[in-house]
Amino acid sequence: MISFRWDEEFGRVISNQEDKKIKRILEIKKEQGQKTKSETIRKMLIQEGYIKENEDVTEVKSSGMQKSMEGALRELGIEDILLTLADRLNTVPTKEEVLKLSDNEGTIAELKAEIEQEKKKNEQLKQMGSENEALRKENAELKSRLETITKEYEDMKEDYKDVAMKKRPLFSFGSTSK
C-alpha cells in the first residue's frame, strides 16, 4: 500500500517511496559531510525517476496542500473519481446553464411539433395508399369488364357477318305470273 505525508521543504505530499529515497540521500550527504538542500535532493530524485524534471517545486508550493493531495490521488488512480464526485456535489447551475436549458425546452417543443406534423403526413399517406388500393381494384374490375364487352362486341360482329352472308336476295329471276 502506498502512503503519503506532507513535506514542508518540498511543499507537497510525498509518497513513502519518495520518502525512503530522500532519507537515503540525506544519509549519503551526511556521510560525505555535505549539506543537503531541497534542490540537490530534487535533482537526485529526478535522476532516480521518482519525480519529473519539468515539475516546478515553486508551483507546487504555491498551490499548497490541494495540489499535493491531487498528486497523491493521481498516484492512487482515484483523483478523477473524487473530483467528479466533488463537482457533482457542489455544482450549482449558472445563469448560462439555466438559459441553455430553457433554450433546450424551446428546441424540444419545436421537435415535438415536427413529430406531430410527420405523424399527420404519415396518416395522410396511409389514407392515400388505401384510396390508391381501392382505385386499383376498381380499375382492374373496369378493365375486366371492358375486355368482356369487347369480346361480346367482336362476337356480335362475327354473328352479324354470318347472318348477312347467309341472307338470300329478296327478288328472284325467272317467270312472273300475271
Q: What is the mean pLDDT of residues 9-15?
A: 70
Note the pLDDT of residue 21: 78
175 or 75, higher pLDDT: 75
Distance of CA 150 to the CA centre of its chain: 62
pLDDT tens digit sequence for 126-171: 999 999 999 999 999 999 999 999 999 999 988 888 777 776 555 5
- Each domain of the chain, given as residue ranges in start order, spans 4-89, 93-163
47 or 168, higher pLDDT: 47
Residue 112 has pLDDT above 80, yes or no: yes
pTM: 0.30
Note the pLDDT of residue 60: 44
**Share of residues in the chain with pLDDT > 70 (%):** 51
Cβ(57)–Cβ(29) under 8 Å? no
List residues bridging with 5 in a β-sheet.
14
Average pLDDT, the chain: 73
Q: Which amino acid is at 164?
A: A
Q: How far apart are the C-alpha atoms of 79 and 72, rounded to whole Å? A: 8
Task: Give the dihedral of Cα atoms 9, 11, 15, 18; nearest 10 deg.
Answer: -40
69 — pLDDT class (breaks 50, 70, 90): low
Q: How far apart are the C-alpha atoms of 5 and 112, rounded to whole Å? A: 57
* Least confident residue range of 5-9, 41-45, 116-120, 168-172: 168-172
Distance of CA 138 to the CA centre of its chain: 48
Most confident of 31-45, 106-120, 143-157, 163-177: 143-157
